[in-house]
Structure formats: C-alpha cells, structure tokens
Structure 1
Amino acid sequence: MNHIDSSKRNIGVNFNQTGAAVISLWAPEAKSVQLKLANRNLSLSKGEFGYWSLETADLSAGDTYQFLLDDEIVITDPASLLQADGVHGAATAYHLNNFQWTDQQWQNLPLHTYIFYELHTGTFTAEGTFEGIISKLDYLVELGITAIELMPVAQFPGTRNWGYDGVFPFAVQESYGGPEGLQDLVNACHEKGLAVVLDVVYNHIGPEGNYFALSGPYFTEKYKTPWGSAVNFDDAWSDGVRNYFIENVLMWFRDFHIDALRMDAVHAIKDFGAVHFLQQLRKEVDHLIKTTHRMHYLIIESDLNDQKYIQPLSANGYGMDATWIDEFHHALRVTAGEPANGYYSDFSGIEHLEKAYRDAYVYDGIYSPHRQKTFGGKADGHAGEQFVVCSQNHDQVGNRMLGERSSVLFSREMQKLMAASVVCSPFLPMLFMGEEWGETNPFQFFISHGEPELIKAVREGRKAEFAAFHSLGEAPDPQAESTFLQSKLQWDLLKENAHQQLSDYYKALLKLRKQYAPLSTDRTQMIVAADKVNNCLILQRWDQDQYVVCLLNFSKTVQDLIMPRARPYWKKIFDSADPCWGGPAIAPVSLDALANVTVQSESILVYTSKHV
C-alpha cells in the first residue's frame, strides 16, 4: 500500500514555504474547476483519480474563496479549515502551520493511565469557548483527570449543537474559537500534563450546510443509516472519500497535536471492501507515528460487541486501540435502580454488572431479548485499557427526554457508589463534566439550525421519540436558546459545602486508583462475585503481593459481608460512607480474613493487604 504523504495536508488550501497557496480539490465527475475569488476566477488542472490542483500567489491567508464547477455550480471547499461566515458561507483561507507550539517536550501518556473527562465546549463554561476550558485546566489537574475528551468541534450550523451535525470536518467551530483557539487549548493542556481526545464523526455528515454531493460521490445508496444515505467507503470513487477522512485524522494528530480520537458509532461506517476503512486508517496512523515519533490512539464507539475492531492488524483485526462499552454503564445503572425499560430491559442488574467486570461485554454470544437474537462476541485476551467505561456520558444523559443527570435520579450515596464502581474497574474510567460535584442542571439535546423545515422535523422527531412519556411533560424544544443555556454547568455550586464535598470525594477516588497498583487495567488478576439476593458485589484485585478488595452494596439496607480469605489481614483505604464525605458511618479500619464487615447501604468499602 502506498502511504499518504503524512508530512503535510494534501487536500484543500494550504500554503508552501514561499507563501503560495497550494490547492487540491477532489471532484471526480466535474468537467472543469475554477477557484472563485472576490475579483477573478483561476482554473485548476485535472490530475489523476479525480483531483484538481492549482498553485497560486493570488490567494492569501484570510481571503475568502469558493470553487466553481462546470461553470455553474458554486461550492465551498469540503476541506475548509475556517468557516467565519458559517456553514452557508465561503471558506476563509487559513495558514495551519503558523501556530507557535511550545509542547515540543510533550509525550502522550500511556493509554492505561488515561482518566477521561468528557466535556462539551459550549456548555462547560459560561463563555462556551476553548479559552473558557483553558481557565479550568488547573481544576481538572487537581481533580485527578489525565485526559480531556472534547465532544465534536467540526463546524456546525449556528452556535448551539452537540457537534454531531458538523458539516465541515476540517473546520473548527468558529464560535468556540476556531482553529487557533483549539491549538491554544491543546498546547495549554500539554503544558499542564493533560492529554487531549477529540470526538470525530465519520459515519455521516449533518443535514444543514451539507453540500458534499455537489462536489463528488461522497455518499452511496448501497446502504442506509439513521441519517440517510451512507458515506461512500466502498462504492465507486470511494478511494477519494476514504482519503478525505484519513487526511482529516492525520491533520488532527499532526497539525493540532491531538493525542487520541474518539470515533463516533463506527458500526455505521458501511464498508465491505477487502481492506476496511479502519484498517487502512490504522496503517496510515502507524506510519505517521513512525515518522513523527509521537504516539496517538484511535478509540471507537461501537454497539456490535465485536472484538475484530480492537484486534491487531496482524490478527486480521481493525487495530483500534480501545472502545467504549455502554453495557457496563447499562448494567451499573440497572443495578443502581434504573428502571429496566428500552435497551435497559436487556440487563438484570448485579449479575450482569458482575459479568461486565469479568468479561467486558455482557452480550458476548448470548441471546438478547431486547434485540431478539444472539448477540456479540467474547473479549478474551484484550486488556482492560481497551475498554472505556462510565456511569454517565453525553449520550446517556442527553438522550433522556429531560436530560436528567445522576444527581437528580439517584441518592447522593448511590452517586458515590456508582463513581467508585467505575474508578475501581479494570477498565479506563470516564467522567462526564460536572458529575464530580453533582451538577443539577440537565444536559439536553439542543440545536440552532437556520432552516425552518429542518427545525420543525427535529422538534417533531424529539416529540415522537418520547411520545410514551407524556406524564413527564413536554420534551424540551431543541431549538430554544433556553434549552442550551439550561444545560450549562453551574460552577458556583462548588462554593456550596455539599457539592465541594462530593468533588473532594472524586479527588480522593481518582487518587486511590493511581496510588494502588491492583486498581489498574489488568483484567487477569481479578475475582468478582455477585450476591443477587442482597444486591452486593465483592471485587478482588491484586498486583504481585498486594491485594485490594472492594465491597459494593447497591441495596438500600445495611449488609454484612465476609472478607475474602485471600490474605489474613486487611486495612481500610477507602470508605464512601465515611462522614467526611457526608456518609452515615465509619467502617472498621482493620479486619481479619473471613471476618464479617458491615457495609452501609449504597456504599463501597475498599481494603488492602499492603498499605502504602
């Protein structure tokens, strides 16, 4: 396979060392292509495989431009880096390599040390910008986070959107701070020792401002997705589409110094070619890593429970580094008391939580009543660092009708227990912004589209989705600015004792994970046992001669559990029910093997055989 030239961006408008604009547009079915400037048009030359090119000194950084196809079709550059006039405006030429980086000494963190903090730029701070995030980095470092995960920042319509309606994958949302603002943020994160994960969307393009089909066959009718026609990864002319998205990945890593990508719903990337798009992407990223000596990770979201996505290329897998596993979340929530409705109906609670700890995938080749079929495959042989788990995230909160967070659905003690369940797991833990202080504002679905028919369709779609929940009231209007504003974090809550106390609890919890080697991502040194009758779970983990035992009581009553015989003596290192965290009682500091220990309702006790 001939590698893409990973040393530079090869599509769109870029500037060479002499300052000239080097232009490349993929338009394989066009008969002619011209660069459309304010006062003149310049013809591009046709090359191989549908690419048109031009080098000119007539286009400078800051100038606006478009393309004219076949003397009649005006399009904006699909690889535009800056949409200062929004998704319907012309592109603004941007010199991507003018930024003055100061992170030359930065080395990406080992994946097994990642502690994710998922955030939405627009609602994380009052400012709703990258600069606003920078102002909170010291807080995140003190909390114990090692990697921030940004929800998508590709240019979308208006100023309010989750980001999954992006229509310019290369352009950074102007209202957030544009490309320079994102580079500033990444640079600042690296100075603080934080890795940066960026959420990207390659399974569809948003509806408003989507002019891709005017320039080339970016979509195919071979497959359907929830968003309409599938992106063309394996039909005629698909090479250009595949290269487009690979160039996008390489740009984030090379030019924005992003450390890892989280790729949205890759099961909706329809590709039945001999070399799957993700396999090709893995090879190109590996080539970039070899060239730059900087490590980058590829993390996916997939609902297939198919280990081929995280199998190495050498085993005919797709070579992804890690995957989200929502099943841990689902099993945890049902165990905590979430009604077993919808997709939660597949989860029995504590027994499935036990299975999630042990096997990663709950449905790994067993029958799924909700899907009405046998589903999934086993994750044997895959390290815990290949799985990302959480107790809440943007999807699971925002796709509720009212966008309620755990803070208003569960007791304070259960919130603490759920957090510890995630952090003490053998997987990579992820927090959702604000959960650590018990944020009470919801995180709702919001948009700021400009097309009336589209706004109407989205409103009606949300109402129809929640038609069975009329007793809860009306679904919030996604177009209303108030829906967006109500979803912003309330940082002032940290001034209140109860919220600060919960934040301190999270700090202690993350410190515990880092301090004790058994609380790592090693899945092989672990025993987990569930007590279905009493809704309790005992998790034993070890590293060499150090053991840690976690006693989790999800019931609403005090339970007496028996300490394992693995070690003769146990010393307490964490107690979520301690009054210092607002809990009801303090458990014994030390215990012998097989001793009875009283575990408060909705709480966790953690003991070790070797205190450090």
Structure 2
Amino acid sequence: MIDLQQVGAHVGGAHPDSLVLGIHLPNITPGKGYQLFADLIHMRDQFDPDIPAVAVELVYQGGAYDLWRFEARIGQLPAQGHMGDKGRYLYRYRLLRHGQELVRYFADPFATVSGPGTNSAFDFPPAPAFAWQEDGFEVPDLDDLVMYELMVDDFAHDFDGVIERLDYLASLGVNCIELMPVTNVPEPYRWGYMPLSYFAIEERYGGQEQLKALVNSCHSRGIAVIHDAVYAHMHEEFSYRKVYWAAGEDNPMIGPFAEDMFGVGTDFTRPFCYDYFAAVNAHFIDTLHLDGFRYDYVPGFYDGPVGQGYARLVHDTYQHSRAIPRFDAGERSRLIQVAEYLDKPKTVLRETYTSASKRWWPMLQAQSMVGAANRAVPEAFVHDMLLIDFTDPWPQSYSNGDDSFPVAPLQFIESHDKSRLMYLLSGGHDAYQGGFDLFSRDRSQWYRLQPFAIFLMTSVGVPLLWQGQELGEIYGKHDDGGSRVLAARPLHWNYFYETSGRTLVRLYRRLGQLRKNLQALRSRNAYYHFEHARLEHGLLAFTRFPDDETQPAVVVLLNFGDLPGELLTPFPRSGAWVEQLNHGDVSAVESLDLPAGGTTVPVYVPANYGKVFVSA
C-alpha cells in the first residue's frame, strides 16, 4: 500500500512554508551508489538564464518501496530570483550513480500539479481545501445512464468551458460525462493515452482545482463524471520507464504481462505496480470525487478473472466505493467501471467487477451503412442495438458472493477512434488530408443521421454520445499515424446555429427526455418485429416493454431509406398510442386508438427518420 502523504510535494504543516518532497524508487538505493536530487525554481524565473534552479538532495528513507525524502522551509532555500516568494514552483528529479549523472531529469510520478513539459509543480501557499457542495448527489443507476464522451480542449478549451456547457449537456438527457484522459502529458496537445503522470491533472485544462469545480458543478446537476484511465501503457518520459531503462535495475512497474499492442507495458504481478494504480483510483474517487472509470485497452492488463491485473483492481475499487455515500444503493455500489475490451465485451462483464463494456460492432456497421449505395439495414445491426443473441446472451448482472449489481454494454455509433458518420456521408476519404479536408465536404445529407440517433437513444443498453455527434460534427480520422492523437479537432459550435445542427440537437433533446421519462426505454425488454421488417428498404420496428406493466410501453419505427414507407406494425396494447417525435412539427400530434388486445396496423414512416409511439 502506498501512503500518498509520504510522496509527491506537500507544502505547509509545521510552518506555512514547510516543503516535503517524497518519491518511491524501488531498487534504487545509496548502497548501489545512487544519489537523488530535485531541481527547484520559481515559475517566474524559469526563462531567466541568470537564475539557475536550486538543487536539493533527497535522503534515502528505505522501506518496502525505497522511499527518498527531502524536507526544508522554502524561505530558507538559497535566495535567488523569486525563490521564497509566493506562487508556483517547478521541480524535476535528477539521478546520479557513483557521482555521474545518469538521468538528467524526470517528473515526479506522484505530483498532483504539473508544469510545462516534464516539470512537476507545487504551489506556495497550497490551494485551500475545496468546498464541495454536492450533498444529496447519488450516482445514477446503470440503466438510467446517458453518457457523453468529451475531450476537454476540443469540446470547450478547459474545465471552465465545460462547466459553461453543462446545461447544454443536461438538455440532451446526459447524466454521465466520460472525460478522455485529463492527466498531464508533456506535449502542448495530445489525446492523453500516453500519460506522463497519473496524479497530476493537465494544467492547460485548469488543473486539479478546476477539475474539482467541474465535478462539483456536475454533481449539483445530477451528472456523474468518470475518467478514461490508461493503465496498460504510458509516455516514454514516464518516470518508472525512463529511470529504470537508464539504470538497468529491476523495474517495479513495467514488464511483460498481458497483451502488448503498444509495446511492453505495466506488469501487475509486481506489487508496486498494483499498489500505484490502486492509489490512483482511490485518489480520483476520494480527492477528486469522480464516480468511476473507463479503463482503456483492458487486454493490456487483464490476466483472467482471478488475476493480479484488471480483475483485482476493479474488485478492490468496487469495495473501496462501498463506504462512500454517493455510490450507496443498499446492497450494492453504483460505481461506474467501464471496460474497453473490444474482443470480449461479454466475457469481461461475466468475469469481473465491470458494470459496462465497450465494443465497436454497432459503430462499424453504422459506418458501413452510411457508405453503402443502398439503404438496407443489416439484421446484425438490429440485433446488436437490441442485444439480441440467442446463442450467447448478454449478461444482465454480475454476482460474486454477497456482491451483485447490474451490467450492460455501452451503445455508440461514433467514437474518438473513427471518422464521423457525417464525414463518411460527405464524400470519400482523402488519405493526404488526414480527415481535415472539411472545406470541400458536402454536409447536405445530414438528415440521414436522424434514424441513427433515434435507434441509439431507444436501444437496449447504455447510450454513449461522442462529443458533437448531436451537431453533425464532420471530422475524419486516420486509423493510424500521429495526426490521430496530435491534431486538434475543436467542435464546430457554429453548427448549433445552422438548420442541420439545430434540427439534430432538437431531436437528441427530445429523445433524451423520452428516455428519462419512460421506464420502458431504460429497461432490458425489447421485441424486434422481424416478421414485418423491410430491411432491404431500411424499415423496421420494435417494442420496448417496461419492467412495471402499469407503465407505458413504447413502439419505435425507423426508416433509414431515402423514401417514405409504410410498415405493418404490431401494437401490444389497446387504447391510445401517441407519437412523440412529430417530425419536427409539434402541432401535428399523431395518435392511434386501437381495439382491445392490440392490433397490427400500417404506419407511415418519413424518409430518414422514425416514429416513437407511447401507450396511454
């Protein structure tokens, strides 16, 4: 177990300017000739060539993970430049062996504040204790979730910008935000899937304190927040990679373990590795008040249902959450743990403390559909969206001993990994342009996105929106290459004010309201009316049944074709059925009055649209 009070940078305590630095470097000891220094400088002096950093030497403390420590008062450090003044200080570690410089600089892997490049940082005085105002917030149940994935700078520049758009997200029915990695990287822009630090929050977004403000604002609106956790691989400048490759000592974190698509990664059989990431999870839950994790590339640290990697981490994180009120659901925790295990999304739900899993199948089929010459709907796409699988049914819950909780897959048709559906609709992919040939794209077929939106928000499972899909965002993307992760793709918020964007946003808002208000759309109960489907023409219908039979049922009709069509549709209940989408015309309410026992009637479905009927 790692005590976070012993590591990182801590200011205050015995004196307001007391400074303590601590770092674990297993197998790096004075007995082998090692010395460890920290180079500190006031941030206002960093570009002044006449003001060098102050070098301080850490003292070896020993212990299971070989702790090194430095303690002094900031005001008693050598007075040069702004040293001793209030403000932000930058620091990096430097490792010597037998008096020779071995590693010129490396970041503090326990720092909670970062500076430019590979600098770590601390503030003097430290930020005051954050005033959380989230009393009464409860993490939504899994079946009630509507998730929205965003990259902070592309979505709204920084955490404050996201706060300004929370009412917009809430209007879509979103009650859970998935943040792409917000831990810091040395580059001025990068997706974040090669972390430099795991505790330090990216300063270009606003750092740790503004992340707390975002989480606090989300909780006040009933919105949960989860983080994209990247635990299978890391940046080449990550301290435990850089130091141990240079030193040649046994690495406490990195080595062959599971799948290695990104090269040799973390080895969870090494106790320090496991304890480090368990401490990261606890920090995000306890200190930052996040509500769960989306675990990136789970195959990279999954070694079976009773292994030392992913399975153990999600189990222990679940147990850790049980004592925290916002997760309390009586006999279970509402902690959100999502696995990106694209090849085995059912297996990871059956075998581990995972509440939701990701797979690409529906998204890849949607991409094929928008690029096809005809408008036919693959039956496999329908089955995936309604979770129909008679040979290998989707698990609905996970149980282990006294623990039991619901599980489900995430449903999504766009993601950060692939080109937008609008891009694929608007012309061919120019490899030379890398998905940025936007000025020549034809966005006139935006309306073809509408049936996909309706299907997504009425599907079985947890709907996940990728930022901007509700606006008809258009960026393309290579499957590989640096432009995927190093090129910014700021959202076209101007689309919100155009006919296409406003129409799509209005549709998503209406669908979000329906999913929130109708238990049938949040249930696991669906019946696909395959006997009446006209998939070759893009027409299909299905019924969503509520768990409580006293609640309304829902019949959904979809038309992916370019022509309006008529579909023979069974309605399971008698009485009035009222259509809820109205094809953009709120004054044109369509209703059916059906005889006892329900009946099958022909229903007109507009082209590239759909209908949602709700029983009275």
Q: Given the alignment of the two structures, is residue 52 of structure 1 paired with residue 67 of structure 2, yes or no?
A: yes
Render the CA deviation track for 1:146-205: whole Å, top value 9, x for unaligned.
122211111113221122132212111111111122112112222233211211211211
- Identify if the C-alpha distance between structure 1 residues 206 and 54 changes in structure 2 by more than 3 Å, giving closer, same or farther: closer
Q: Secondary structure at the match of 2:265?
A: strand
Deviation at 1:428, TM superposition (A): 1.0
Conserved in 2, the CA contact under 8 Å of 1:131 and 1:181?
yes
The residue number in structure 1 matching 2:45 is none
Whole-Å separation in 1 of the counterparts to 2:610 and 2:63: 64
Instruction: Map residues 74-89 of structure 1 onto 2, 5 A cutoff.
Output: 74=103, 75-87=106-118, 89=119
TM-score (norm 1): 0.78
Deviation at 1:354, TM superposition (A): 2.3
Q: Given the alignment of the two structures, is residue 427 of structure 1 paired with residue 461 of structure 2, yes or no?
A: yes
Deviation at 1:433, TM superposition (A): 1.6
Whole-Å separation in 2 of the counterparts to 1:177 and 1:443: 28
The residue number in structure 2 matching 1:164 is 193
Which of 227, 251, 258 is equivalent to 2:290?
Answer: 258
The residue number in structure 2 matching 1:350 is 378
What is the one-letter code of the residue matched to 1:163?
G
RMSD over aligned CA atoms reads 3.5
Conserved in 1, the CA contact under 8 Å of 2:58 and 2:70?
no
Indicate the structure (1 or 2) with the bigger Cα radius of gyration. 2
Conserved in 2, the CA contact under 8 Å of 1:22 and 1:54?
yes
Q: Secondary structure at the match of 2:222?
A: coil
Whole-Å separation in 1 of the counterparts to 2:437 and 2:612: 30
Q: Given the alignment of the two structures, is residue 12 of structure 1 paired with residue 8 of structure 2, yes or no?
A: yes
What is the one-letter code of the residue matched to 2:544?
R
TM-score (norm 2): 0.77
- Identify if the C-alpha distance between structure 1 residues 444 and 359 changes in structure 2 by more than 3 Å, giving closer, same or farther: closer
Whole-Å separation in 1 of the counterparts to 2:412 and 2:340: 13
- Identify if the C-alpha distance between structure 1 residues 76 and 63 changes in structure 2 by more than 3 Å, giving closer, same or farther: same
Render the CA deviation track for 1:511-564: whole Å, top value 9, x for unaligned.
1111212111x2245445354333322111112143211111222332221121
The residue number in structure 1 matching 2:28 is 30
Conserved in 2, the CA contact under 8 Å of 1:218 and 1:231?
yes
Q: Given the alignment of the two structures, is residue 291 of structure 1 paired with residue 329 of structure 2, yes or no?
A: no
Q: Given the alignment of the two structures, is residue 191 of structure 1 paired with residue 191 of structure 2, yes or no?
A: no
Instruction: Map residues 29-428 of structure 1 onto 2, 5 A cutoff.
Output: 29-32=27-30, 34-37=36-39, 38-48=54-64, 50-54=65-69, 56-58=71-73, 62-69=88-95, 71=97, 72-74=101-103, 75-87=106-118, 89-92=119-122, 98-125=129-156, 128-207=157-236, 212-215=241-244, 216-221=251-256, 225-234=260-269, 238-271=270-303, 274-295=306-327, 296-311=335-350, 317-337=351-371, 349-359=377-387, 378-382=393-397, 386-397=408-419, 401-402=434-435, 411-428=445-462
Q: Secondary structure at the match of 1:123?
A: helix
The residue number in structure 1 matching 2:542 is 539
- Identify if the C-alpha distance between structure 1 residues 206 and 570 changes in structure 2 by more than 3 Å, giving closer, same or farther: farther
Conserved in 1, the CA contact under 8 Å of 2:560 and 2:608?
yes
Whole-Å separation in 2 of the counterparts to 1:523 and 1:272: 28
Q: Given the alignment of the two structures, is residue 571 of structure 1 paired with residue 572 of structure 2, yes or no?
A: no
Whole-Å separation in 2 of the counterparts to 1:339 and 1:409: 17
What is the one-letter code of the residue matched to 1:411?
Q
Conserved in 1, the CA contact under 8 Å of 2:553 and 2:615?
yes
Whole-Å separation in 2 of the counterparts to 1:96 and 1:255: 13
Q: Secondary structure at the match of 2:285?
A: helix
Which deviates more from structure 2 when the two are superposed, residues 175-184 or residues 265-274? 265-274
What is the one-letter code of the residue matched to 1:267?
P
- Identify if the C-alpha distance between structure 1 residues 493 and 412 changes in structure 2 by more than 3 Å, giving closer, same or farther: closer
What is the one-letter code of the residue matched to 1:318?
T
Whole-Å separation in 2 of the counterparts to 1:151 and 1:292: 24
The residue number in structure 1 matching 2:503 is 501
Conserved in 2, the CA contact under 8 Å of 1:119 and 1:151?
yes
Conserved in 2, the CA contact under 8 Å of 1:146 and 1:194?
yes
Conserved in 2, the CA contact under 8 Å of 1:35 and 1:65?
no
Conserved in 1, the CA contact under 8 Å of 2:349 and 2:395?
no
Unmatched runs of 5 consecutive residues or more in structure 2: 40-53, 76-86, 245-250, 328-334, 398-404, 424-428
Conserved in 2, the CA contact under 8 Å of 1:557 and 1:600?
yes
Which deviates more from structure 2 when the two are superposed, residues 493-502 or residues 183-192? 493-502
The residue number in structure 2 matching 1:473 is none
- Identify if the C-alpha distance between structure 1 residues 63 and 108 changes in structure 2 by more than 3 Å, giving closer, same or farther: same
What is the one-letter code of the residue matched to 2:233?
H
What is the one-letter code of the residue matched to 1:226?
M
The residue number in structure 1 matching 2:610 is 604
- Identify if the C-alpha distance between structure 1 residues 66 and 336 changes in structure 2 by more than 3 Å, giving closer, same or farther: closer
Conserved in 2, the CA contact under 8 Å of 1:572 and 1:588?
yes
Conserved in 1, the CA contact under 8 Å of 2:257 and 2:301?
no
Aligned residues: 536
Deviation at 1:423, TM superposition (A): 0.4
- Identify if the C-alpha distance between structure 1 residues 478 and 351 changes in structure 2 by more than 3 Å, giving closer, same or farther: closer
Whole-Å separation in 1 of the counterparts to 2:319 and 2:177: 25
Whole-Å separation in 1 of the counterparts to 2:281 and 2:454: 34
Whole-Å separation in 2 of the counterparts to 1:389 and 1:526: 17
Deviation at 1:221, TM superposition (A): 4.0
Deviation at 1:569, TM superposition (A): 3.9
What is the one-letter code of the residue matched to 1:186?
V
Deviation at 1:443, TM superposition (A): 6.0
Render the CA deviation track for 1:195-240: whole Å, top value 9, x for unaligned.
1121121121134566624154422146662221122223xxx111
The residue number in structure 1 matching 2:330 is none
What is the one-letter code of the residue matched to 2:265?
A
Deviation at 1:113, TM superposition (A): 1.9
Deviation at 1:419, TM superposition (A): 0.7
The residue number in structure 1 matching 2:426 is none
- Identify if the C-alpha distance between structure 1 residues 40 and 412 changes in structure 2 by more than 3 Å, giving closer, same or farther: closer
Whole-Å separation in 1 of the counterparts to 2:320 and 2:127: 18
Deviation at 1:110, TM superposition (A): 2.1
- Identify if the C-alpha distance between structure 1 residues 408 and 111 changes in structure 2 by more than 3 Å, giving closer, same or farther: farther
Whole-Å separation in 1 of the counterparts to 2:56 and 2:349: 50
Whole-Å separation in 2 of the counterparts to 1:574 and 1:384: 29
Render the CA deviation track for 1:28-81: whole Å, top value 9, x for unaligned.
221235352524213021112x33153734469944444444544443222222
Identity %: 22
Conserved in 2, the CA contact under 8 Å of 1:572 and 1:605?
no
